[in-house]
Structure 1
Amino acid sequence: MEYIVETIRLTKTYKQEHAVDNIQLQIPKGSIYGFLGPNGAGKTTTIRMLLGLIKPTYGEVMMFNKPFLKNRVELLGKVGSLVENPSYYGHLNAVENLEVYRTLLEVPKERVKEVLELVGLTYAMKKKVKQYSLGMKQRLGIAIALLGDPELLILDEPTNGLDPQGIQEIRSLINELVKKRGITILVSSHLLAEIDQMADYVGIISKGKLIFQDRIEVLRKRATGEVRLRVGQMEHARKVALAQGVPVRIDQEQLVIEEVDDTKMASLITSFIRNDIPVYRIQDHHKSLEDIFLDVVRKGGVRDVQEALNQ
């Protein structure tokens, strides 16, 4: 697999405290990589190191298979970014704002129209930016990041503070950029629901440590269903289930059975009835991705991540 970005033991220390601690990101080419973690976990600090805005205390960033610090100017020419709040001139319209950045980047004049079409702001291109909604300002920020026709786009919390419609618009734009343009995108967020709807890969950071990194399907597989039963004679019921080869545990005065098909479930209920075990209630229960994310973050250490995922 080809990685656009790799970090090697990347660390940033402030006053002997690790804001980012020995992380090793691997961002595959052509993917949407969701960089996920609670506020204050180290996401923005990591992104700033990737962009050369702050210097690592230790470790190295590899970008496009080259050491970043030794090839900074060349590599940044392939990168567009939106970190925290977009920078713009409120008294100017979108075209005028983009023209400022286009001149600095020395890109063709046609790019202004192209990026406005990409982000869906053509209809408001002559409107002063101070009159824009927050979602429109975010899209203008992404337009600025796209001016240089980057191969890698880094977006730090691009949906932060947006209403549901604005969130959907930004999410659709990100997906479209990957599908139609083949851009690799790193998008950070503290909301798993947002990452789940657009990312191929996910890295979870907590307290400066990268505690999980893999395809998002690995997390989705853990969101499997379980069946919870309220029965009489709990211990007797547990033994009957085990005798039939059905793994079962007791949780909060309920029998919990995971990953069992309908046929085996029907057979088990029949066995309970034959053994005079009353069945009061049967409930399907699904562990959400949010639950899994919170479990992983709560565990907080790399060694405990697999335990959290396997629960």
Structure 2
Amino acid sequence: MSAVLEIQGLQKTYRSRKGVRKALDGFDMVVESGQVHGFLGPNGSGKTTTLRTLLGLIRPNGGRMALLGREVPQSLPEVAGSVGAIVESPQFFGNFTALETLQLLADAGGVPPARVFEVLELVGLRDRAKDRVKTYSLGMKQRLAVASALLKNPKLLILDEPANGLDPGGIREMRTLMRNLAESGMTVVLSSHILGEIQLICDSVTIIAAGRRVAAGAVADVLAQHAGSSVRVRLESAQDLAASVGLLRELGGQVTVEDDHLMVSGIDRPSAITRALAGNGVFVSELSPVSVDLESVFLELTGTTPVAGEHRQVDQTVMAPTGPAQGGWGH
């Protein structure tokens, strides 16, 4: 596989009365062709700044960036037609229908009219195509934004929170769409706070915190690197919890007391737990390994809690490279 997106040592500094703030501090990122790649980070981590810098909307202070093998921002005019992107919440003219909106964008970008109906079908809006956008829910506007980004059938699709406002059924449909696009050869970069979805849909991830990369690689590899040997120990009697803590710590275990069970790590062989407890008259009703998931890794690396549907910034951009009607890369 070849890289369709490369970032090396990206720097972005903001100066204000409060001093200097490094939004990006030597950030690195690589996305291989044909993948669905998750781009994750807490609020204020530099995630949106990275995307906007990559697409020429913010000027960096240092570093190297490339899209589809071409250096950007200098080569953006050459690659713009092969990149579709939505950064932050989309904005459309409320009195236009979805069909009219996409037809205008298609005409401005030289896209065949038939493609409008194809993308409406792809995102599940064909039956509502003649309704005014102002009657759309937030989730439907998200679908319309994705449709606009897909008009030119781009090689690289960058989506910031595409599931924002979608119900569980819509999230599942969006997941299927992203996988189908990747299977057709398109590369998808997906930013989301719904980490369970990222784990299901993505081949690889990059996690950013405080402007620096803190993890990257195949999802399975990132999870494996942070997998521990923790086990959940549930006892037959709640009165045995306190007594069991000391016994397990004598074995060298790190023990955390939960409401109705113990979390134990640092003991390589779970059988040692059962033997030690049974030898002291304490009997185990459950002994199960605790599997690591992407959310727990995210929390460990960033020290923050992901919030679905968090407040978005006021500045809003839809970047579907479809020509003058979009004002170049944004509007």
Instruction: Decide: shared fold, TM above 0.5.
Output: yes
Q: Which has the higher helix share?
A: 1
Match in the other structure for 2:89: 85
Whether 1:182 and 2:185 are equivalent positions in the alignment is yes
Greater RCO (CA < 8 Å, at least 6 residues apart): 2
Which residue number in structure 2 is paired with residue 304 of structure 1? none
Residue deviations 1:215-264 (CA, integer Å, cap 9, x gap): 1112333456633455857666666x6xxxxxx5132476835686xxx6
Inter-partner Cα distance in structure 2 for 1:237 and 1:86: 54
Pair 265,297 (structure 1): closer, same or farther in 2 beyond 3 Å:
closer
1:43 aligned residue (47, 53, 59)? 47
Aligned to 1:24, the other structure's residue is in SS state strand
Letter aligned with residue 256 of structure 1: V
| Aligned ranges 1:270-289 → 2 under 5 Å | 270=275, 273=278, 276-281=279-284, 282-284=286-288, 286=290, 287-289=292-294
1:1-311 matched pairs, under 5 angstroms: 1-15=1-15, 16-179=20-183, 181-221=184-224, 222-223=226-227, 226-229=230-233, 232=243, 248-252=252-256, 256-257=264-265, 265-266=270-271, 269-270=274-275, 273=278, 276-281=279-284, 282-284=286-288, 286=290, 287-298=292-303
User: Number of residues paired by the alignment?
Assistant: 286
SS state at 1:77 partner: helix
Given that 1:231 and 1:255 are in contact with CA atoms closer than 8 Å, whether structure 2 keeps it comes out as no
CA distance in 1, matches of 2:244, 2:157: 59
- Mapped contact 2:248–2:255 kept (Cα < 8 A): no
Q: Shift of the alpha carbon at 1:214?
A: 0.9
CA change 1:42–1:268 in 2 (3 A) is closer
Task: Give the TM-score of the pair, scaled to structure 1.
Answer: 0.82
Q: Distance in 1 between matches of 2:282 and 2:91?
A: 62
SS in structure 2 of the partner of residue 279 of structure 1: coil
Aligned-residue CA RMSD in angstroms? 2.6
Q: How many Å apart are 1:166 and its aligned residue?
A: 2.8
Equivalent position amino acid for 1:169 in 2: E
Give the whole-Å Cα distance in 2 for the aligned partners of 1:111 and 1:252: 57
Assess if the C-alpha contact under 8 Å between 2:54 and 2:73 holds in 1: no
Flag the 1:18–1:33 CA change in 2: closer, same or farther, 3 A: same
Q: For 2:167 and 2:152, how far apart are their aligned partners in 1?
A: 29
Tell me, yes or no, if the aligned pair for 1:202 and 1:213 is still in contact at 8 Å.
Answer: yes
**What is the CA distance between 1:76 and its match in structure 2?**
1.0
Q: Identity over the aligned pairs, expressed in percent?
A: 38
**Which range is displaced more, 116-125 or 43-52?**
116-125
Conservation of the 8 A alpha-carbon contact between 2:228 and 2:265: no
Label 1:127 to 1:252 Cα distance change in 2 as closer, same or farther (>3 A). Answer: closer
22 and 128 in structure 1: CA distance in 2 versus 1, 3 angstrom threshold: same
Are 2:54 and 2:65, in contact at CA under 8 Å, matched by a contact in 1?
Answer: yes
1:158 CA displacement: 1.3
Q: Distance in 1 between matches of 2:113 and 2:6?
A: 33
Q: Return the offset for 1:176.
A: 1.9
Q: Are the structure 2 counterparts of residues 151 and 75 from structure 1 closer, same or farther at C-alpha, using a change threshold of 3 Å?
A: same
Post-superposition offset of 1:271: 6.4
Contact 1:102 1:109 in 2 (8 A): yes
How far apart are the structure 2 equivalents of 1:146 and 1:132?
19
Match of 1:308 in 2: none
Does the 8 A contact of 1:232 with 1:277 survive in 2? no
2-structure distance, mates of 1:270, 1:22: 50
Write the letter of the residue equivalent to 2:116: V
- Letter of the 2:264 partner, please give it: V
Task: Return 230-239 or 146-155, whichever deviates more.
Answer: 230-239
Whether the 8 Å CA contact 1:8–1:60 is kept in 2: the answer is: yes
Per-residue deviation, 1:277: 2.2
1:173-225 deviations in whole A, cap 9, x for unaligned? 2122112x211011112332221121111111111111111111123334566
CA contact under 8 A between 2:13 and 2:22: conserved in structure 1?
A: yes
Gaps of 5+ in 2: 234-240, 305-331
